[in-house]
Structure 1
Amino acid sequence: MSSPTTPTTPTGQTAPGTLVLAATPIGDPRDAAPRLAHELLGADVVAAEDTRRLRRLLGDLGVVPRGRVISYHEHNEAARTPDLVARLVQGDRVVVVTDAGMPSVSDPGYRLVVAAVAAGIRVTCVPGPSAVLMSLAVSGLPVDRFCFEGFLPRKQGERSRTLTDLASERRTMVFFEAPHRLAVSLEAMASVFGAEREAAVCRELTKTWEEVRRGGLAELAAWAADGVKGEVTVVVAGAAAVVSSVEDALPAILERVAAGERLKDVSADVAASTGLSRKALYDAALASRRS
């Protein structure tokens, strides 16, 4: 545990403190790193996204912090960041925790990190559970290259523009999503990326009702339409290699049509994934079938 005595430099000046970003379990409290309890116990300040959730975690860990516990969330982080930086400059050890996972990753913390770095404060972290990495690991999709896109915009137009920008992304993509918006987001992804683009919906990871649902985006959207509960992470396969011409795309279209898919649907799907003209693909396939 940290010493209650304020550290000083060899010149007698107060040594700057340390900002600790502490990962918390995403579901099962047994996943907490042993060091997490040590940091919460010895911190001068614990800044928590939700102090009620923190109290439950402290109970699970059997820890009573000796320092001050304050709330630090999206609605007050702008106001509280200067005060926390001042405490850090004075030599305090400030531990930031969010409801689950690593602070600053789609959660409060980034603003404080930027301010602490600008003030010359040491920033470190307690590693721990990650919904991003766990979802990738269990998705069954390529994990050699990936990107994290956080939450999609709530407004339809902004969401469509974001997905359009990602349509040609070759890396596996990871998204967070609220359960009540999951079906809409999957439908939007299917529209832009293609109905058959492979994806996985990872729900309630590490919890009792953990579930990983795999399939094409349209299939997953239909499943989610009945309602989904719990914390959700979506993993989507990257775009296939770019097809440069209608002629290059034609064999795959004809194969899918021969397997029973509608030419109109296949043409739209291939157009969305390649950027080629849907009409040109349709006309070329139609002409090939007639000949």
Structure 2
Amino acid sequence: MGAEVSSVVDLAGDLAGRYRRTESSGGTVDPAVAQADLDAVLRDGYVILADLLTPEELAEIRREVRPLLDRTGRNNFEGHATQRVYSLLNKTRSCDRVVAHPRVLALLDRLLMPNYLLSMIQAINITPGEAAQMLHTDDGFYPLPRPRKALSAATIWAVDDFTAENGATDIVLGSHAWGNRLPADTDERVPVVMPAGSCVFFLGTLWHGGGANHSPAPRLALTAQYCEPWLRPQEAFTLSTPHDIVRAVSEDIRRMLGYSIHPPFIGQVNGMHPKRLLKTDVPEDD
């Protein structure tokens, strides 16, 4: 990170030399569309983004992910009749489109600080007979009191159709704006019904949980979660993801895995930009 610092003000900017901050592909989304999505999220805590994946993309995801579904959950939260696959980026490239879809990044660009991070990417397959998951928020483990701005956001992608019978994600309407109150039995769980290829995008402060599967078939989904660049993600991707995979993914994903700098120098490695770890020909002062 060889840029010269001449004043305290400079510390608020990008100090990287060779590896300056890259722009998000969310900038390719029509600003009017992105603004409408944002308005819905800020008002309701969530928005359904319909039909973002093609039938061909869905078929590839099913083909690549279903063979990985070899174990069920270890506790009530994971679900004893729910199959989960963590670290998907290490196992298949079929889910890259989900992690860095421009429509999703356009929202994240407006909600979080630049160089926000990927916090988690996993597959969730709710099999028949699974009970409803406990309601929870995705950024509740960050110890800052509510009400407050969300510190994270998440997507849940329907690989199979989401219905009220097969375990569609339940949300509690308006709960993103709550203070420290917890859901009560009188708070209605509303299922997010949407066709395969769609996703629900919601704030980390929204109370939600997987629904019960009363149908005869499993319900497969992917979830990608994101957080502010100054927070610790749920998964330490810089440790879990081999460098050859980091080199293979898109620049958007690479940045969200932590190969980026949050000004002035959060995320540096030995005083240098983390991208230096991916190359052998970068000068020592970059």
* TM-score w.r.t. length of structure 2: 0.23
TM-score normalized with structure 1 length:
0.23
Could you say which structure has the higher helix fraction? 1
Between the two structures, name the one with larger relative contact order (CA 8 Å, sep ≥ 6).
2
